[in-house]
Amino acid sequence: MFLTFWRFRSAIASHAGAMGGGALLVIFVAAMEVALPWPMKIIVDDVLQPLGQTAQHGTPAVLGLAAFGPLQLLLLAAGALLTMTVMNAAADYLGTRMLNSVGEKTMATIRADVFAHLQRLSLSFHDKQRLGDLVTRTTTDVDYVRALMVSMLSVLLPNVFILGFVTTICVLVDPAFALIGLAVAPLLFVTVLVYRRRIKMASREARSKDSDIAAAMSETFASVRVMQTYTSEARHEDDFRARNNGRRDAGLRVIRLQSMFSPLVDVIATMGTVLVLWIGAQRVLEGTMTLGMLLVFLAYLKALYSPMKSLAKLTTVISRGQASAERIQEILDTAPAISDKPGPCLPRSWPAQWNCAASASATRGIETSCTGLASRPSRAASWPSPAPREPGNRPSSV
């Protein structure tokens, strides 16, 4: 995934500042997501107490709020929850907008680079390529790469930080209970890796079938006069139908894998949630854990499995973007057959008024000065005039 950023680093470099700012905002969103369950814990454990119970569970004391009454704690926790939610929403809006803007600008730069590179490639290269395939790589594939970059920064990056934050806090608060919550994590990782590889291969095949369809359409309608002249419509229709059916089958394979992947991840994550809920409820009944702490762990468990679920939903986008990035890179890696030297200049024997500053001299001819070349004497700027012929004589024809 990160190889895609390295491949197009030259197009991303001019937007690195905005991309970094958007990444910091989504990391801030991840931090707010981790902090949101704690006001609810204070409300459950220290405000909603049974009748006659006045003992607090330590959280206000740690925060320096031991002298606050239940109503004051309720007001403070509710205000903190509202403030963090508003800050989270604002950061999410700004980060998403910045990253999507960077994606659009980067897409325009990549498309312009591909178009300029295609113009410099030799005729032998274009003779071997299908026009529809080149058009698809310059348009659709570039858009898929943009979707990959934006998804990685706006969805995958914050979920990775949430995973790190949640794991660290759970281990610090209750290491034994944290290990119970992480019991199904290895199974989730293996499932994601296996299905992601299979979906990537299926997506690459689907992208190749898209290019076949685009090539068939462009080649058919570019020679529509010849096709109708020789009444070969049926043959072209059969060829297109075969390509179209191949793309349909490839798309159905992607859908089948994706449809299996997401529910499987949900089932494994629910198994972990049920395990934590069962053991946590017993600990609450025994008095070794508060109800508020159990709710925090359940919220963190949901956030813990969120990266896996997000990756499950993004697998098609990521796989399709990686396949498209490889197809674009194939074009950019093709070297032109003939390369111009830096700072090209028109021949010095051309007339002086053609892009070269000239100074005429009766004895030395013309001195030209072109970019990157030293001035030196050259041939006279005046073109040789035709030889005079006598009246009545016709010029000889070659």
**Start-to-end CA span in the chain (Å):** 66
- The pLDDT assigned to 359 comes to 43
242-275 pLDDT, tens per residue? Answer: 888 888 888 888 888 878 887 888 888 888 888 8
| β-strand partners of 378 | 366
What domains appear along the chain, each with residue ranges and CATH number? 2-333 (1.20.1560.10)
pLDDT tens profile 68-86:
677 888 888 888 889 999 9
Residue 125: per-residue pLDDT: 79
The encoded tokens of residue 73 equal 């704690």
> Per-residue confidence at 215, pLDDT binned at 50, 70, 90?
confident
Q: Residues 129-155: pLDDT tens digits? A: 777 778 778 887 888 888 888 877 777
The closest of 17, 258, 2 to 148, measured between CA atoms, is: 2
pLDDT tens across 316-338, in order? 677 778 778 888 888 888 877 66
Show the tokens assigned to 87: 């800050």
Encoded tokens for 223: 């020679």
Q: Which amino acid is at 53?
A: Q
Per-residue pLDDT, averaged over 348-362, amounts to 47
